[in-house]
Chains A and B, each alone.
Chain A
Amino acid sequence: GQNIDQPTEMTATEGAIVQINCTYQTSGFNGLFWYQQHAGEAPTFLSYNVLDGLEEKGRFSSFLSRSKGYSYLLLKELQMKDSASYLCAVRVLPPNTGGFKTIFGAGTRLFVKA
């Protein structure tokens, strides 16, 4: 089956660095996403990794290791507005189907405190 695991909640301090981990067991892997979702709002796209390594985009970085089925999202210089849920999602290409599908994890709720 397809499975994505990430911590339920994390707390960090304003100005600090936090790393949110995600492990996955899927077949037909074709990339990994991170989305940010504020309470009551729609998710917004943060990053997409298809190859191993680190992708940096401003204060946010995302890492992927396909051999380990592992990714993390790194948030630097935390701000209060970073308090949100962070969703790890995997893009897969199931056999004998019409195309790609995206499987989402349950999300990690990040609380940033002053």
Chain B
Amino acid sequence: SQTIHQWPATLVQPVGSPLSLECTVEGTSNPNLYWYRQAAGRGLQLLFYSVGIGQISSEVPQNLSASRPQDRQFILSSKKLLLSDSGFYLCAWSVGPRSYEQYFGPGTRLTVT
């Protein structure tokens, strides 16, 4: 069966510090991968999605970036965090004929102080 991992689970970082969040998927090949952010009391905002290694589409201009160095690894990064980057970051995957159905990882709760 497929599983998705995210780490860390929680993170507190000062403004201006760098960020690296990692997501890996097991049990499937060539997944579509997504990074979402959910601010408190808000819906999910799509940040990046990837249909293959090295293929990244950005949805919202921001100080974040994403990379996909391996088929089942998706990394979200920032060189300098802003207060507004605080939120719940979720990685998700989908694959195949039912690619409309996305499965979410456990999430990382980021607090920028």
Chain B 21-65 interface mask (CB, 8 Å, partner A; 1/0): 000000000000000100001111110010100000101000000
Instruction: Check B43 against A107 for contact (C-beta < 8 Å).
Output: yes
**Chain A: interface residue total (CB-CB under 8 A):** 25
Instruction: Check A42 against B46 for contact (C-beta < 8 Å).
Output: no
Instruction: Check B104 against A87 for contact (C-beta < 8 Å).
Output: no
Q: How far is the CB of A76 from chain B (nearest CB, A)?
A: 23
Chain A facing B: main interface SS = strand
Contacts A101-B59, A104-B44, A106-B42 hold; do A42 and B51 have CB atoms under 8 A apart? no
Residues of A within 8 A of B (CB): 4, 30-31, 33, 40-45, 48, 87, 89, 91, 97-107
Which of chain A's residues have a CB closer than 8 A to the CB of B103? 45
Contacts A98-B51, A98-B57 hold; do A42 and B43 have CB atoms under 8 A apart? no
Instruction: Check B51 against A87 for contact (C-beta < 8 Å).
Output: no
The answer, yes or no, to whether B106 is at the interface (CB within 8 Å) is yes
Q: Top 4 nearest A-B pairs by Cβ distance?
A: A42-B104, A104-B43, A104-B44, A106-B43
Contacts A41-B106, A42-B107 hold; do A102 and B101 have CB atoms under 8 A apart? no
Instruction: Check B100 against A42 for contact (C-beta < 8 Å).
Output: no
Interface size class, chain B: 20 to 34
Sampled A-B contacts (10; CB under 8 Å):
A30-B100, A42-B104, A43-B90, A44-B104, A87-B44, A98-B51, A98-B57, A102-B46, A102-B100, A102-B102
Q: Which of B43, B100, B101, B105 contacts A105 (CB 8 A)?
A: B43
Which residue of chain B lies nearest to A31 when distances are taken between CB atoms in the complex?
A: B100
Instruction: Check B43 against A4 for contact (C-beta < 8 Å).
Output: yes
Instruction: Check B57 against A42 for contact (C-beta < 8 Å).
Output: no
Q: Which of A43, A100, A106 contacts B100 (CB 8 A)?
A: A100
Known A-B contacts: A42-B104, A104-B36. Give 11 more (CB < 8 A). Answer: A31-B100, A33-B100, A40-B109, A41-B106, A42-B106, A45-B101, A87-B43, A98-B57, A101-B59, A104-B44, A104-B45
